[in-house]
Structure 1
Amino acid sequence: MNDTPDWLRPARAEFARLRPDAAQDAAVLAALTRQLHALHVAPPVDEHRWPRRLAWASGALGTTAALLLSALLLLDPPGPHATPLANAGSGFIPLVPEPEFRAALAAGRSAAVWLQPTELPRERLALLGLPFDAARADEFVRAELMLNPLGQVLAVRLLETHP
């Protein structure tokens, strides 16, 4: 104890007095070991549990896929069926349902319908159901947009598809 500073000697003596003996150490170790084993006891294995989980997961996956497919089918983007109206003679490809487009053309005689020149990315041609060259996707196509008085785009007319 000679190497201990004088001011630490009382604390060291008190610590030695409070230090547990070997029997107390063994009792604490045994109690901790029992608690550890109690925590690691595996629950009884239910052999029929994983097929049920697999069935639920498969059902959920199938339902999700069906909902996504239904949503895609309900979305009615302009495609191959969106061809210019023959009797309209305008060359516009409708972007709204045909009855709404025809109503806008009929109302166009009494209400304003605006034509807005624009340039569309060439990749948009595929969304319109038109031929599309992926090698030229970064190029633009001159077009006109038909807008109703509220600013809604009713139709598009391509002015040039080749540079």
Structure 2
Amino acid sequence: MMKTHDPSSPSGSPPGGPQSPRTARLADWLWASGHDLRQRAPEPGRDDAVLQAMRASFATRQRSVRRVGWRWALAGPALCATVLVACVWLLGTAPPGESGATVARGSDFIVLVSADRWAAYEKAGAGTAWLVPTDVPRERLALLGLPYDPAAAAEPVHAELLVHASGDVLAMRVLP
């Protein structure tokens, strides 16, 4: 049993009996508070007004979300289309020889240098380069964008390299 003590009592000591107003149990206080809260119910129209205000707020929020939502529905396809157009444009502007294997016109050579370097070689004539036979690892075909069998990646491929007088490898021809 929990008792409280009132220091302002005339005797200065705790009151002695259960009939004292200063002595009470915590459970009694809680019961009295709960009873008081049950007695103070809101007015009947108050619950309906709060519920109606919540519904109006929710409806307003939903309308604003729907208004903004349709704009984002087009963002995904627009972004994909933009990326696709950019990729096609970048592939179209890449210089030959750097974006993969390109075949020289009228020959079986795969050009390994830029278009400017290849044009300078063609302008100078065939006397400035040599054909050098060699064996190339089959995995190098994949780097040139050519098909190859990964199971035979270690086997060599017979090829001819077109080497400029400066030592630059200009092109390669794969032999059967």
Bin for the TM-score computed over the shorter chain: 0.3 to 0.5
TM-score (norm 1): 0.46
The alignment's TM-score, normalised by the length of structure 2, stands at 0.43
Could you say which structure has the larger radius of gyration? 2
Larger relative contact order (Cα-Cα within 8 Å, sequence gap ≥ 6):
1
